[in-house]
């Protein structure tokens, strides 16, 4: 049987991990604005992300796997598209900037 496609929540979580790794689940939730336990669990089960240690506060950190790179046709993470290539609307850009700034400010707390 074929593996079902990623849900939007799973794809969002995978994108956060890919671009910000290593990253904790609380950081992922802060960036997305919603709880991410289920999506992270599914990504772990599918082998797209893996644990990569712990933050200084004990939170599990996640990173993408070789399977992720293979499935997405990447030779290395440096081949991920530049975020600026997504051409967000001004409203989306403002919201994303605010979320990233808040996450960056709180990153030391995780």
Query: What CATH number should be reported for the domain holding residue 50?
Result: 1.10.10.10
Q: pTM score > 0.85 for this model?
A: no
Q: What is the mean pLDDT of the chain?
A: 86
Average pLDDT for consecutive 10-residue bins of the chain (110 residues)? Answer: 85 93 93 92 97 95 95 88 72 74 59
In a domain, 33, yes or no: yes
Q: At what angle do helices 8-20 and 25-32 cross, to 10 degrees?
A: 120
How many domains is the chain partitioned into structurally?
1
Name the residue among 3, 5, 33, 18 with its Cα closest to residue 79.
18
Residue range of the domain that includes 48 = 8-109
Q: Is residue 51 part of a domain?
A: yes
- Residue 58 counted as domain residue: yes
Output the DSSP codes for 68-104. HHHHTT-SSGGGSPPGGGG---HHHHHHHHHHHHHHH
Within-domain flag for 1:
no
């Amino acid at each position: 049987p074929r593996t079902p496609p990623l849900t939007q929540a799973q794809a969002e979580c995978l994108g956060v991990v890919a671009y910000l790794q290593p990253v904790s689940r609380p950081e992922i939730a802060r960036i997305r604005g919603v709880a991410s336990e289920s999506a992270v669990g599914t990504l772990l089960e599918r082998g797209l992300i893996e644990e990569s240690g712990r933050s200084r506060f004990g939170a599990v950190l996640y990173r993408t796997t070789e399977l992720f790179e293979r499935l997405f046709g990447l030779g290395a993470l440096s081949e991920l598209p530049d975020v600026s290539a997504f051409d967000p609307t001004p409203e989306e850009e403002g919201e994303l900037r605010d979320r990233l700034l808040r996450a960056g400010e709180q990153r030391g707390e995780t």
